[in-house]
């Protein structure tokens, strides 16, 4: 966030994504920056585009931290982000902090790793994943294809 503010990018992002409604896919930290606040390495303000906070995976949950490896994302509802994917698609994770989302209606999937956490969100044209679709083989490629198809549809004025 500090770099985004220092380089004057927050207002540009707000203009392009919030005002001009350009599609956004935030991967890992790219989703976390959308939150109100983060407690990773101190307390930091986020963009505040989703009502959520970034908190550490509790060490007492009996799991190794960081969470590195393959895990299921359990799809909630029928979000466009998961179109054509299994309701329990497997993705690659690498994180020690997670998004605790207060806007339950935008949670596209959850994952359980010691605790249940938000593993992806979809809020209109703003999408985010805690996992890394670019490292997640077929499931990841399908999710990225869903996003590029969504972008194409937006350009044609269909969404």
Catalytic one among 14, 105, 116, 134?
134
Backbone angles phi, psi at 144, to 5 degrees: -65, -35
Residue 81 DSSP one-character state = G
- Per the annotation, the verdict on 35 as an active-site residue is no
- Per the annotation, the verdict on 132 as an active-site residue is yes
Q: What string of DSSP letters covers 100-112?
A: EES-GGGEEEEEE
Catalytic one among 28, 35, 95, 101?
28
Active centre residues (catalytic): 28, 132, 134
């Amino acid at each position: 966030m500090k770099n985004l503010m220092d380089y004057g990018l927050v207002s540009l992002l707000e203009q392009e994504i919030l005002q001009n409604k350009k599609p956004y896919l935030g991967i890992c930290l790219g989703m976390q920056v959308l939150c109100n606040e983060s407690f990773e390495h101190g307390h930091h303000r986020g963009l505040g585009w989703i009502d959520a906070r970034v908190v550490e995976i509790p060490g007492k949950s009996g799991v190794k931290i960081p969470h590195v490896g393959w895990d299921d994302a359990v799809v909630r509802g029928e979000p466009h982000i998961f179109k054509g994917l299994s309701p329990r698609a497997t993705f690659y994770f690498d994180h020690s902090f997670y998004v605790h989302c207060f806007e339950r209606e935008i949670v596209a999937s959850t994952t359980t790793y010691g605790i249940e956490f938000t593993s992806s969100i979809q809020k209109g044209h703003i999408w985010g994943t805690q996992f890394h679709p670019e490292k997640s083989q077929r499931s990841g490629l399908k999710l990225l294809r869903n996003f590029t198809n969504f972008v194409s549809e937006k350009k044609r004025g269909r969404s």
